[in-house]
A and B are shown apart, each in its own frame.
Chain A
């Protein structure tokens, strides 16, 4: 497993060589090489999840694009962040995610920034969109369920950062969403109001009351 000078693994990112520690992911290698690849379900405070497929890259010899966040580096791996197939798939994924939302995500959100980065304009796909559902029973935290894209970041923040285990993924397919407790709302679940979910949410599906009021003002 180890490279010539001892512990490291040597890979190339878009042709540039870089050495990373054993166990590093392709995403970590790309960042170590000074490169970048878009992400959506990724948060460095959480274990890689590999759910959104927005970090797809090509790896020489692989049958198709691989998610950078969950793929471990191998010695002499050649990583291509500009692969056409990967870029086309990623763009389509984000377009599909956006197509389910009743409104465009607010400009400051990570999803909106991602759409700008990928130069996604008016949605190509039309169809059913989520109906607005606001839950503002908590003094600080608000659900805007219609903005949930089921990336799982809030659930993992609650589990892996705080350890309150208050949030749960719920529903299937188009109806997939997130809920506190058994749909009890934040206050009546095991939530400890730490706000890690709002902090990581890339769409404002969970946000802070004060920020919502700021946006409305």
Chain B
């Protein structure tokens, strides 16, 4: 192979959280081809069209290659010195006038662990605030919260290898063949070899065709489904009494609660036939090794975090955790969404989820960083936007996130960005968010930098640069260090390996992690000082006081939104195979030839009733916004529901999403939005129904 290419490196995919190991083949300074690493622990010689093909964005003509500074309504190119000095001057001024808590930063779940750690250090040590968060807030923060409450640690209990080791599995609120294609392929292959699969989703996903059973609950009723499954497991003698007695606490309360969720009652709430609830419980409960996988269809709800605890309940009462094939596997959305939170890019925790109020931990970081650190929790992302609108937050530093496209209640986000006195964006492209920036810093894509990502299996894996950043763009770690230096706080990292060494020294759970030790297969945390990693968690005990897993007696509660007379359909949003989140990368590749527009899936009955034809343009209106999009009539969705994704700025799907959010973690309720859908006039207007930004 080598003669065709100038160089080849092994790295980790920068798209979803599966963490495929990739071989990048380079010729003439460009990535010519990407192939899967045969020894990749999560991908085993396979990858999807995003990992393999969607890399041309890295040399797209509209990459940011120079720093930009706003002058009036325009951006002008600037030198790095000018841009950094502008940031120094503005942040110093705002900090002097309004205090450090008037400044907030966002780390990126697309960035490396080292960058996220440095970003949190920038905010905590150089600025002096805990106002640091990352986009896991809007996806799996409920999972993180619930797993810590129920089991102790914020991560999958096993690995993707548990898919092949399991005899049965439940997938709830995830569409792996589109959102996590390599895991989707592994699940599909497992079903062909005998895995008994149950899919639970308002849409009939591709894997439903390979499942023994598919349940279509009404959006927002997952809690009732999980309680119903628990009821049947309890009623029909599928409990693991020894496990419950030896390793858990709080089952008595749960037993009282689930007694009231007989399948008939659950049918009333969810619309799922009672017999299907019973059968699903038996598929899971009767075998020795069964796993549960879930995605954002569980978390992005008003009570998403509670549903994750109910998932944990089911595993605890059947003793299906801590063994091969018996795992709880949240499908993490972004390449490093696990790591960005692990690294402490959160307003309330340092690395490994240790509270900012914990005196010992805070003092350890004060000693390491040589600065006094705040013990007060900072703002979460939604709180940042709220604080910006009402004037408490004056400046933001957003690294690698397009909040104006991907966060809910777009109009509110835009108002928040407009309200700021000063906004820094560090990104690889102009985005909907950079329109509101005062300084834009040209950053690096995953193919252009080194460090580590942590995948959905808690696996630290090495990221290596295949190509150089274009023009004067710089690796993000270098940029963050430059800004910190300008603010008077020298981080002094020679390279990303030095950052990881510091993380390991300050974090017992990652004590044995170093770049040298990760090698080709990576390490799954917790990693002991001698380098022993943890493929399966909780083999002997849970990481909670007393070593016991905790049941949670949480009843079903109604979702934050519901269909009514004015908004008779329920919109669910999600992802499509060919594109990725805000589409910033995939829309700049050949994937756009495969899928070049958004569409709204609607059931034939609803379409007929609303006089909507396949391919027709429709207006979708919610309580907070309106979009226009093409309709596609399909029976893969249940009557009463519609589905669309959020990959295209032409269709600002998130204009429709309100501010309703998970009660414990403020993860937005992307998955239940009451809407009114109606056909458009003959002449479609292709202008997006988005408020015009005041700037540009």
CA distance A45 to B52 in the complex (A): 17
Which single member of A45, A140, A163, A214 contacts B188 (CB below 8 Å)?
A163
Q: Using an 8 Å CB-CB cutoff, how does the interface string of B583-609 with A read, 1 for contact, 0 for none?
A: 000000011011000000000000000
- B41 lies within 8 A of chain A by Cβ: no
Task: Determine if A210 and B48 form an interchain contact, defined as CB atoms under 8 angstroms apart.
Answer: no
Task: Determine if B3 and A107 form an interchain contact, defined as CB atoms under 8 angstroms apart.
Answer: yes
Which single member of B1, B27, B33, B577 contacts A192 (CB below 8 Å)?
B577
Which residues from B are CB-within-8-Å of A194?
Answer: 46-49, 52, 181, 185
Given A107-B3, A214-B27, also A161-B594 (CB < 8 A): no
- A72 lies within 8 A of chain B by Cβ: no
CB distance from A39 to the nearest CB of B (A): 14
Which residues from B are CB-within-8-Å of A83?
Answer: none
Task: Determine if B590 and A45 form an interchain contact, defined as CB atoms under 8 angstroms apart.
Answer: no
Nearest A residue to B578, CB-CB: A193
CA distance A161 to B192 in the complex (A): 11
CB distance from B262 to the nearest CB of A (A): 37
Task: Determine if A45 and B192 form an interchain contact, defined as CB atoms under 8 angstroms apart.
Answer: no
Nearest A residue to B190, CB-CB: A163
Task: Determine if A211 and B4 form an interchain contact, defined as CB atoms under 8 angstroms apart.
Answer: yes
- A124 lies within 8 A of chain B by Cβ: no
Which single member of A162, A199, A210 contacts B35 (CB below 8 Å)?
A199
Task: Determine if B185 and A108 form an interchain contact, defined as CB atoms under 8 angstroms apart.
Answer: no
Task: Determine if A108 and B1 form an interchain contact, defined as CB atoms under 8 angstroms apart.
Answer: yes
Which single member of B47, B192, B577, B594 contacts A163 (CB below 8 Å)?
B192
Task: Determine if A162 and B185 form an interchain contact, defined as CB atoms under 8 angstroms apart.
Answer: yes
- B44 lies within 8 A of chain A by Cβ: yes
Nearest A residue to B45, CB-CB: A45
- A196 lies within 8 A of chain B by Cβ: yes
CA distance A209 to B32 in the complex (A): 10
CB distance from A110 to the nearest CB of B (A): 10
- B189 lies within 8 A of chain A by Cβ: yes
Query: How many positions in chain A have a CB within 8 Å of any CB in the partner chain?
Result: 23
Task: Determine if A161 and B49 form an interchain contact, defined as CB atoms under 8 angstroms apart.
Answer: no
Which residues from B are CB-within-8-Å of A22?
Answer: none
Which residues from B are CB-within-8-Å of A45?
Answer: 38, 44-46
- B408 lies within 8 A of chain A by Cβ: no
CA distance A45 to B185 in the complex (A): 13
Task: Determine if A108 and B3 form an interchain contact, defined as CB atoms under 8 angstroms apart.
Answer: yes
Q: Using an 8 Å CB-CB cutoff, how does the interface string of A86-101 with B read, 1 for contact, 0 for none?
A: 0000000000000000
CB distance from A183 to the nearest CB of B (A): 19
- B369 lies within 8 A of chain A by Cβ: no
- A181 lies within 8 A of chain B by Cβ: no
CA distance A83 to B577 in the complex (A): 49
Task: Determine if B52 and A195 form an interchain contact, defined as CB atoms under 8 angstroms apart.
Answer: yes
Nearest A residue to B49, CB-CB: A193
Which residues from B are CB-within-8-Å of A108?
Answer: 1, 3-4
Task: Determine if A139 and B593 form an interchain contact, defined as CB atoms under 8 angstroms apart.
Answer: yes
Q: Using an 8 Å CB-CB cutoff, how does the interface string of A185-209 with B read, 1 for contact, 0 for none?
A: 0010000111110010000000011
CA distance A107 to B2 in the complex (A): 11
CA distance A215 to B4 in the complex (A): 8
Task: Determine if B32 and A140 form an interchain contact, defined as CB atoms under 8 angstroms apart.
Answer: no
- B36 lies within 8 A of chain A by Cβ: yes
- B567 lies within 8 A of chain A by Cβ: no
Nearest B residue to A43, CB-CB: B45
Which residues from A are CB-within-8-Å of B591?
Answer: 139
- B53 lies within 8 A of chain A by Cβ: yes
- A44 lies within 8 A of chain B by Cβ: yes
Which residues from A are CB-within-8-Å of B46?
Answer: 45, 161-162, 194, 196
Task: Determine if B35 and A139 form an interchain contact, defined as CB atoms under 8 angstroms apart.
Answer: no
Nearest A residue to B53, CB-CB: A140
CB distance from A150 to the nearest CB of B (A): 22
CA distance A214 to B4 in the complex (A): 8
Nearest A residue to B1, CB-CB: A108
CA distance A163 to B1 in the complex (A): 27
Which residues from B are CB-within-8-Å of A187?
Answer: 594
Task: Determine if B47 and A140 form an interchain contact, defined as CB atoms under 8 angstroms apart.
Answer: no
- Looking at A107, A108, A163, A199, the one whose CB has the most chain B CB atoms below 10 A away is A163
Which single member of B47, B188, B594 contacts A139 (CB below 8 Å)?
B594
Given A108-B4, A161-B46, A163-B192, also A192-B590 (CB < 8 A): no
- A84 lies within 8 A of chain B by Cβ: no
Which residues from B are CB-within-8-Å of A135?
Answer: none
Which residues from B are CB-within-8-Å of A107?
Answer: 3
Which single member of A193, A199, A214 contacts B594 (CB below 8 Å)?
A193
Given A161-B46, A194-B46, A194-B48, also A211-B577 (CB < 8 A): no
Nearest B residue to A107, CB-CB: B3
Given A44-B38, A161-B189, also A192-B3 (CB < 8 A): no
15 examples of A-B residue contacts, CB within 8 angstroms? A44-B45, A45-B44, A45-B46, A139-B593, A140-B49, A161-B189, A192-B177, A193-B53, A194-B52, A194-B185, A195-B49, A195-B53, A208-B53, A211-B4, A214-B4
A-B pairs with the 4 shortest C-beta distances? A139-B590, A193-B49, A163-B188, A139-B593
Q: A194-B46, A196-B46, A199-B35 are in contact. List 16 more A-B contacts (CB 8 A).
A: A44-B45, A45-B45, A108-B3, A139-B53, A139-B591, A161-B45, A161-B185, A192-B49, A194-B181, A195-B47, A195-B52, A195-B53, A210-B33, A211-B32, A214-B4, A214-B27
Q: Which A residues form the contact surface with B (CB < 8 A)?
A: 44-45, 107-108, 139-140, 160-163, 187, 192-196, 199, 208-211, 214-215
Q: Which B residues form the contact surface with A (CB < 8 A)?
A: 1, 3-4, 27, 32-33, 35-36, 38, 44-49, 52-53, 177, 181, 185, 188-189, 192, 577-578, 590-591, 593-594
